[in-house]
Structure formats: structure tokens, C-alpha cells
Amino acid sequence: MIEFSTPAAPERPDLRNVSDLLASRAAAAPDHVAFQLPDGGAWRDVTTREFEDTVIAVAKGMVATGVEPGDTVAVMAPTRYEWAVADFASAYAGAVVVPLYPTSSVSQAAAIIADSQPVLAVAGEESHADLLRAACAEGCVGALPIWTMDPTPGADLAALIARGAEVADSVIAERRAMAGPDDVATIVYTSGTTRAAKGVLVTHGNLVRESLAVLHAYPEVVHERANTVIFLPLSHILARALQMLSVQAGMRVAHLSDPTQVVATLAEIRPTFLVVVPRVLQKIQGGAKAKAEEKHLGKVFDAAIATAISWGRHQEEVDRRGAGAARPSLGLRLRHALFDRLFYAKLRTLTGGRLEWMLSGAAPLEEHLSLFFRGLGLPVVEGYGLTETTAPCTGNLPGRIRSGTVGPPVPGTTIRISDDGEVLVKGIGVTPGYRNPTDNDDAFVDGFFRTGDLGSLDEDGYLTLSGRVKDIIVTASGKNVVPAPWENAVEADPMVAYAVMVGEGKPFPAALILMARDEVAAWAERHGHPALAALARDPLAKNVEDPNILAQVGAVVARANQAVSRAEQVRKFKVLLTDLKEESGHFTPTMKLKRTAFLHDFADTIEELYRATPVGKGKA
């Protein structure tokens, strides 16, 4: 076995639980702006003191309605300021938070409610409250008091605050101090890419120590002069941990519930730091290329991409060798200066003009995409983590980024690679276990959490991921194939949403290529293929046999095949259209593909790939 550890960050004995993150900051800098709220077309500042006052008022309301220490409180809402209020208010009241995605089905919500047994719920709007009521009925749970974030006479947060008007400050102070590091702060139900959701127990110590570790490791990124926009779902541990970290560090936060408004919001808020998923970066690059093609500058932009990647590689060489790194060639310097005027500066302006760092997580980031953004002046810090590790357990570091890796362990964490190549984690963020004890079977080994991911460590402790243990395909000839490297190479194309390699027990690997409708339609219009554009916009259309798009995808598949061994190359593929909606049942709320469900539903399509008759021209 191979393992690597990073020493823990200094302890803060005064930070025993999540509420201490806010209380200590409010005491140290009460007038510092903690949040920005949309207000009539503008953004209104909220100080740390104002935020804590609201949190305490809501916590009093929770206590007045009967919430006891250790009770669970459900929160179902899109990402918004009031989510932060409900989260911290629950901690101040001594309660345990159970987040539910607002896109959940009634059955999904019912299972979580039946398992977690909340005594109170906070919903974003009345439609979310209705969904929670239906879930309670389906889960045979009694009537649940539900308070909405949107104004609802007698049943919103203002009404809840009014209920707690007579609760003394001393009661909240006492409640707030009850929880210790080993007590459960939140139960986060996994999104279930391969099985039913499991309730992950995340302690106050997990969240507090994770916050301290990130502050210790990333002082250039997270500080009180920094600001960010959170648009990832707060029901996910990554965005929620970021929010708690921001409060404790004094980093100003603006929330955005509609991700389609990100670009416009960046120009207004001008963040210094963003947490993104790879798909966002792919869309930025793809959108820039599409605009260049509209101006007949597609080949010029391709050259700009290649130059940015070369510049990014040089920057990483400087990171490693410092003054010993060779100076970039005159040609590279001239090309970079030219493309900076033509493209790079405009892309930096698109993000607000102040963005210094981006953190990418939740899915693998292609090496070339990381290098591209590094080369144009927007470095991406890729990290890795799971709900069970309280968000990041590894992360690249400013000034020490190695594209293609997810970095070394965060402070206080050990990464071990088992003899079978599985990534194992032990440390500050690792859950003590699942709510259902039977879910802990085989989840841990020698005190390490089994991630189910395959990976390797280099001599400096940088982790490189190579796929999922359960995704390994064994072909009819007995060859073990890890799909992830090939799939990631194909998914690097902006039009490709997901690439799914198949071939278990078959003579060779094949693939289903899922194309994003909007990107296909836009590409078809730019290249003069109206029939394909109309097909992409038809919500009933699933299969694509248009020769133009098959040729385009075929070139992408051929490039991916060149990067893997002969036994791992895809010989046939099928192109499908997808709406990228969670409601399809194939995607998690963070847009990860539910591979098992997808393969089940498309079993007939997969079988077609192995029949004698070729599928369109989808042969590689």
C-alpha cells in the first residue's frame, strides 16, 4: 500500500461547533459585509452582525415551536441567502440540519423524511412546502410544521421570528454551546449514483476542522478581502462547506438560485473566487469558440487555445522549478500577447475582471481545460472529495498546481492507495459513519473510508484519479477496462455532455454519447444544418443519425481512442440527445450521471451496438 499525509492545521479550541464559526466572526468583525442580497435590481450589503441577529431571531422561533437539542430540521430550497439563515439558525437552536434538494421527487423526499424524522421544515416557496407535505403523507409521517422563505402570511420566516419574540437570548446562548465536535451537525443524504440514498453523518468537528484546514492551506484564496458567488446547490456538502468557510473567514458571499444567470451576475458582483464544476468551464470555452466561429475566427481561436495550454504548461513548470525554469520562447510570448488582446482579456472581463482563482470539483477536470484557463490568467485549483469526507480531502494549491491531478491531501488528512488501487481516506473530514449502521458494512477498512474511486499517488502526494471501482468493464476476452480516461477525453468536447463506455462481457468496448441539445442546435445553426437544429430542439427526439454530427463525434472518438490502448478503444458508438434534467432519473442534482439507472434504461440501445448491422455511421 502507498499513502501520504499532510499535517493538520493548528487547532482552535474556541471553535467547538458550527455556530462558533459565526459567533467568533461576529464578535471580531461585526460591521464587515458578510453577504450581498438582490434588492430591486441592485445588491444590498448585510453585515456579519445583521446576519447573526437574523440567525438568532429565527433560532428563537425554532425553540418556541418546540425544537429540542438534537432534533432534526429539514431545509428544502434553491441556493439563496435564507438557506444560510436557516442553516446557522438550526445550529444556534441545537438542531441537526437535513438538506433536501428542491428538485427531489415526492418519493425521494418521503424516504429522507421518514428516515430522518424532522420536527420542523424550512421551504423556499409554497411549491416546496407542498412537496414536503406530499412527502410526509407518502412516508406516513405526521403533520410537519413548515415555514417558507418566500412571504407566506402566518407561515414564513417573519412569522417564525415573531413566534420566538419572548425567547430569551440566554436560551439561545445555552443551546448554541451544547454541541461538541463529535456531535452530528447535519445528515446529508447521498445523491445515489449507484444505489438508494444513504444518510451521511457529518459532525461539528468535521465541518469546523475542514474550515480551518482550508483557511490554513489557501490563505491567498480565502480571506476577508475576497468575495464569491455561490450558485451550486446548498443541499450539496461542497457549497454548504464553502458557505460556512466564507462566514468564518469573512469572505463576502452572494447567492444565485438560477445558474443560467451566472455570467450576468459575475459582471455585477466581480468575485475574486468561484467554486465551479467542469461543465461550467467547458461551456465558457465552448461559448467563446462559438462566438469566434460566428466571426469566421474559429481556426484563430483554436490557435489561441493551443497557445493558452502551452502557456499554462510553462506556468506549471515555473511552479515546480522556480527561477530554474526556462523562459518561454519569443514566439510563445508574442502569440500569448496577441491572443490576450483578441480573446483572453475578454474572457477575464466576462468573469468580472477580478477573478483570481477557481476551484473545480464534483467531477473530473480534463488536464487541457485546466491548462487553458491557467494560460489565459484564470487558474483552476482542482480538488476531490465526497459527502463522506465533508467536501475536499485533497486539493491542488496556489503556486503548486499540477493539472491532471486533484492535488495532495488537505491538512489533517491521509490518502492511502490499496493494493487493488482504491483510494482510501482518513482524517478530519471523514464521517463517523452512516445513519443506518448496516450501510457501514464494507465502508471502512483499517480506519480508512473506502471511496470506491481508483487512483494513484506521485512522490509528492498528488492524487490522480482513474475511474470508479464499480465501473470497470470486463470484456469477453477477460480484459479489464477502466472507462474513465476514455470517457473524460470525449467529454472534453463542449457538445458532449456525457460519454458512457459499455462492453461488459462483450467482444469490444462500445459507447453511448449523450449530446446537450442546446449545444447541438447552436452548432447545427452555425454550420448550416437546419434539419439537425430542428431535431435537437424536438423534446421527443432521442437518437441522432445525422451524418454531419456523426462525423463530428467520430473525430472526437478517434482522438480519444489514440490516448488509450487497443483493448480500451471504442469501436462503435451511438449518439443520443439529452436534456440534462434531473427529472429524467439519469442525473443527480449536481449533474452526475446515474450510471446504473442509465444503463438499465438504455439496455436495448446498447444491445443494438453489438448486432451485425452498423449503427448509422457511428463506427470508430
Per-residue pLDDT of 368-419, as tens digits, reads: 899 999 999 999 999 999 999 999 999 999 989 999 999 999 999 999 999 9
Provide the pLDDT confidence category of residue 187 given band limits of 50, 70 and 90: very high
Per the DSSP assignment, residues forming a β-bridge with 74 are 98, 121
- Cell 451485425 belongs to 612
Provide the pLDDT confidence category of residue 566 given band limits of 50, 70 and 90: confident
CB 241 within 8 Å of CB 274: no
Q: Is 587's pLDDT higher than 80? A: no
- The one-letter amino acid at 526: R
Residue 617: its pLDDT value, please?
A: 44
Per-residue pLDDT of 124-169, as tens digits, reads: 999 999 999 999 998 778 889 999 999 999 999 999 999 999 999 9
Residue 585: its pLDDT value, please?
A: 63
Q: Is 212's pLDDT higher than 70? A: yes
Q: Is 613's pLDDT higher than 50? A: no
Provide the pLDDT confidence category of residue 616 given band limits of 50, 70 and 90: very low
Who wins on pLDDT, 610 or 123?
A: 123
The C-alpha atoms of residue 386 and residue 200 are separated, in whole angstroms, by 10
CB 47 within 8 Å of CB 33: yes
- The one-letter amino acid at 223: H
CA distances from 283 to 165, 278, 494, 496, 587 (A): 48, 9, 6, 11, 18
Mean pLDDT (the chain) is: 89
List the one residue out of 195, 158, 198, 176 whose CA is nearest residue 95: 176
Provide the pLDDT confidence category of residue 26 given band limits of 50, 70 and 90: very high
The C-alpha atoms of residue 249 and residue 25 are separated, in whole angstroms, by 8
The C-alpha atoms of residue 95 and residue 69 are separated, in whole angstroms, by 5
What's phi and psi for 206, nearest 5 deg? -55, -50
CB 490 within 8 Å of CB 459: no
Q: Tell me the Cα Rg of the chain.
A: 25
Mean pLDDT of 29-40: 94
Provide the pLDDT confidence category of residue 71 given band limits of 50, 70 and 90: very high
Pairing type for strands 448-457 and 463-468 reads antiparallel
Residue 359: its pLDDT value, please?
A: 92
Q: Among 205-209, 473-477, 505-509, whose mean pLDDT is lowest?
A: 473-477
Q: What is the DSSP letter of 362?
A: S
Helix (H, G, I), strand (E, B), or coil: what is residue 385?
strand
The C-alpha atoms of residue 375 and residue 52 are separated, in whole angstroms, by 41
Per the DSSP assignment, residues forming a β-bridge with 223 are none
List the one residue out of 532, 481, 548, 487 whose CA is nearest residue 514: 487
Residue 142: its pLDDT value, please?
A: 80
Per-residue pLDDT of 519-540, as tens digits, reads: 888 888 888 888 888 888 887 7
Q: Is 589's pLDDT higher than 70? A: no
Contacts of 417 by beta carbon, 8 Å cutoff, 6+ apart? 1, 2, 3, 423, 424, 455, 456, 457
Provide the pLDDT confidence category of residue 584 given band limits of 50, 70 and 90: low
Residue 27: its pLDDT value, please?
A: 97
Who wins on pLDDT, 345 or 105?
A: 345
Q: Is 193's pLDDT higher than 50? A: no
The C-alpha atoms of residue 179 and residue 380 are separated, in whole angstroms, by 36
Angle of helix 204-217 versus helix 18-28 axis, rounded to 10: 50
Mean pLDDT of 205-229: 95
Residue 614: its pLDDT value, please?
A: 45
Who wins on pLDDT, 176 or 105?
A: 176
Pairing type for strands 357-360 and 380-386 reads parallel
CB atoms within 10 A of CB 558: 12
CB 137 within 8 Å of CB 118: no
Percent of the chain with pLDDT over 70: 95
- Interior CA angle at 453 toward 452 and 454, to 5°? 125
Residue 388: its pLDDT value, please?
A: 96
Per the DSSP assignment, residues forming a β-bridge with 385 are 392
H or E, element range at 66: none
Mean pLDDT of 17-36: 97
Q: Is 615's pLDDT higher than 50? A: no
Per-residue pLDDT of 258-310, as tens digits, reads: 877 888 888 899 999 999 888 788 888 888 888 888 888 889 999 999 999 99
CB 422 within 8 Å of CB 452: yes
